[in-house]
A and B are shown apart, each in its own frame.
Chain A
Amino acid sequence: GQGLLVPRSLTGGELPIGAVESAAWGILPGKEPLIKCTFRPPNFETPVSAFGDVITPNEQFFVRWHLAHIPQMAAETWRLRVGGESVEHPYELTLDQLKQDFEPVELVAVCQCAGNRRGFSEPHVPGVQWGAGAMGNARWKGARLRDVLTRAGLKADALEIVFDGADDGVIDETPDFIKSLPLWKALDENTLIAYEMNGEALPHANGFPVRLVVPGWTGTYWVKQLISISAVPKPEMGFWMSRAYRIPKDKFPGAERFPSQEAETDAPITDILVNSLITNIEDGQRLTAGEPTMVKGIAWDGGHGIRTVDVSVNGGRTWESARLERDYGCFSFRAWHHTFTPRGGGEYRLMARATDRQGRTQPFKLVFNRAGYHNNVVQRIHVEITP
């Protein structure tokens, strides 16, 4: 080896042995092979190699469901109910009305599961043992949630907007997957009710015919098979808001606020933390000394945009700026690359570290939390250099 000194804190975790052994390449209808975590409900991960493209193809977009009763939806019979105690005029929309009555908006945004990379948590924690591919970046098209709510007439006491999809538990006793947003985020001009993904209808597995798109916020809010939107004057108290998807406040002090759901010590997870991923080199890969080698990857954050990506080839001793590629907007993956020439044999340790336009950057040590959320620890890849 090169005898490079790497602080222990730079070490990322490894997936539990059970997660590795029970993974399989599996094919869902209309999809290319993805990494199967669980069959029913389907939880399928995108392979890292797919992130070589800044836009994740629909066929490779990750799949995440909590509850196993997932009906097949027909575009003709789908209806969206807009109502709740805090609207003046409840109403219903057909898919054609949603498309025709409201100005269509297009934007590129990352949908990242809150538990992306949970499998690397040290110590390990229960939950779907995701690797690095519980995320994807797509061009979404839809109506503004704000416009749909405005037509219903929001009352002054509206506190949260509550969302329900058509999916259900297998038995009634299982808490239905119901999520809410604070009014300010629901009324953000970028929050969409999306009916197109990369220029096509959404795949069934990604929420056909319509899903919520909440740019900058974790996937848990991106309710699939959306059928009901309610404005309410009180906090939504169901299991998936009050007990799941919560983070310790003291460990993530800069998070965007969701005041009506905050408790003394914990709060709902909100915006995505700045993060990056090397997409073209695998751990253990061999490179040739003297040959220029390009490290490629992506970086993203919760909507401020990426300012810089720094790359180290010596385990964090020295860093150089990567070249950022085309900007698809502040909610999108940002591709980057950096070329270096390995000298001599032995081992190199590649790392990438993104900084967003607020100056926030990735930690070298995991910010551990019991649910395994927000893992944006700097990744490290070992490569062997052949002389």
Chain B
Amino acid sequence: MKMRNALLPAVFVVATASAGEMRIELEKGAGYDIVMENCTLCHSLDYIPMHSGFMKRTDWQATVDKMVNVMGAPIDKDDIPVIVDYLTTHYGVE
């Protein structure tokens, strides 16, 4: 297996954690605003891009369901499909 230090790209260095979180930007697209509203309450947004490259639609659906049913995320039922579409389009694989 490759070790992460060999794989790190030339990334930004952040002085503090809070300064770093401000610099995370998700891709723009349909559903962006709803994701920003619903997915930043409990953790930073990097949880999302960290998962890109392998999550199928069903995986993102299961993750959002877990946030609602287990973690208690207060997300409007009607917003869930929009969020799953957004995550699948920008951070998923078909």
From 62 to 108 in chain A, residues with beta carbon under 8 angstroms from any chain B beta carbon are 67-68
Is the Cβ of B46 less than 8 Å from the Cβ of A39?
A: yes
Tell me which residues across on chain B come within 8 A of A27, comparing CB atoms. 13-16
- Asked if A265 CB lies within 8 Å of chain B CBs, one says no
Is the Cβ of B91 less than 8 Å from the Cβ of A18?
A: yes
Q: Number of A residues whose C-beta is below 8 Å from B?
A: 59
Is the Cβ of B2 less than 8 Å from the Cβ of A37?
A: no
- Asked if B30 CB lies within 8 Å of chain A CBs, one says no
Is the Cβ of A126 less than 8 Å from the Cβ of B55?
A: yes
Which stretch, A128-136, A180-188, A286-294, touches the partner chain B?
Answer: A128-136
From 42 to 90 in chain B, residues with beta carbon under 8 angstroms from any chain A beta carbon are 42-44, 46-47, 49-55, 59, 63, 70-72, 74
B85 → chain A, closest Cβ, in Å?
18
How far is it, in angstroms, between the C-alpha of A174 and the C-alpha of B68 when the chains are bound? 10
Q: Number of B residues whose C-beta is below 8 Å from A?
A: 40
Tell me which residues across on chain A come within 8 A of B59, comparing CB atoms. 126
How far is it, in angstroms, between the C-alpha of A370 and the C-alpha of B61 when the chains are bound? 16
From 22 to 45 in chain A, residues with beta carbon under 8 angstroms from any chain B beta carbon are 22-29, 33, 35-42, 45
Known A12-B2, A175-B70: A170·B42 in contact at CB below 8 Å? yes
Tell me which residues across on chain B come within 8 A of A333, comparing CB atoms. none
A174 → chain B, closest Cβ, in Å?
5
How far is it, in angstroms, between the C-alpha of A136 and the C-alpha of B13 when the chains are bound? 23
- Asked if A156 CB lies within 8 Å of chain B CBs, one says no
- Asked if A264 CB lies within 8 Å of chain B CBs, one says no
Tell me which residues across on chain B come within 8 A of A33, comparing CB atoms. 13
Q: Which residue of A lies closest to B62 (CB)?
A: A126
Which stretch, A117-125, A299-307, A340-348, touches the partner chain B?
Answer: A117-125
Is the Cβ of A126 less than 8 Å from the Cβ of B9?
A: no
Tell me which residues across on chain B come within 8 A of A128, comparing CB atoms. 50
Tell me which residues across on chain B come within 8 A of A173, comparing CB atoms. 71-72, 74
Tell me which residues across on chain A come within 8 A of B53, comparing CB atoms. 16-19, 124
How far is it, in angstroms, between the C-alpha of A47 and the C-alpha of B41 when the chains are bound? 29
Most buried by A among B4, B20, B42, B74: B4
Is the Cβ of A24 less than 8 Å from the Cβ of B20?
A: yes
- Asked if A189 CB lies within 8 Å of chain B CBs, one says no
Tell me which residues across on chain B come within 8 A of A123, comparing CB atoms. 54
Is the Cβ of B3 less than 8 Å from the Cβ of A39?
A: no
Is the Cβ of B72 less than 8 Å from the Cβ of A171?
A: yes
Is the Cβ of A284 less than 8 Å from the Cβ of B6?
A: yes
Is the Cβ of A174 less than 8 Å from the Cβ of B42?
A: yes
Tell me which residues across on chain B come within 8 A of A377, comparing CB atoms. 1
Known A24-B14, A27-B14, A126-B59: A39·B1 in contact at CB below 8 Å? no
Tell me which residues across on chain A come within 8 A of B71, comparing CB atoms. 169, 173-175
Known A27-B15, A169-B71: A39·B51 in contact at CB below 8 Å? no
Known A24-B12, A126-B63, A174-B72: A132·B3 in contact at CB below 8 Å? yes
Known A25-B13, A26-B17: A170·B41 in contact at CB below 8 Å? yes
B26-38 vs A, CB cutoff 8 Å, 1 = contact: the mask equals 0000000000000
B52 → chain A, closest Cβ, in Å?
3
- Asked if A48 CB lies within 8 Å of chain B CBs, one says yes
A10 → chain B, closest Cβ, in Å?
10
Known A35-B8, A129-B51: A14·B72 in contact at CB below 8 Å? no
Is the Cβ of B14 less than 8 Å from the Cβ of A22?
A: no
Closest 8 pairs between A and B when the two form their complex, measured CB to CB: A173-B72, A12-B1, A131-B4, A18-B52, A124-B54, A17-B53, A39-B21, A16-B53
Besides the known contacts A22-B46, A171-B74, 18 further A-B residue pairs in the complex with CB atoms under 8 A apart: A15-B7, A19-B51, A20-B9, A22-B49, A24-B14, A26-B17, A39-B17, A39-B18, A48-B5, A133-B4, A169-B71, A170-B41, A170-B42, A171-B41, A171-B72, A174-B72, A283-B6, A380-B1
Supply 16 A–B pairs (Cβ within 8 Å), ascending by A.
Answer: A16-B53, A19-B50, A23-B8, A25-B8, A25-B14, A26-B20, A36-B20, A40-B43, A41-B43, A48-B3, A68-B43, A171-B72, A175-B70, A175-B72, A282-B6, A284-B6
The chain B residues found within 8 Å of chain A, CB to CB, are 1-9, 11-18, 20-21, 24, 41-44, 46-47, 49-55, 59, 63, 70-72, 74, 91
The chain A residues found within 8 Å of chain B, CB to CB, are 12-29, 33, 35-42, 45, 47-49, 67-68, 117, 119-120, 123-124, 126, 128-129, 131-133, 169-175, 239, 243, 282-284, 377, 379-380
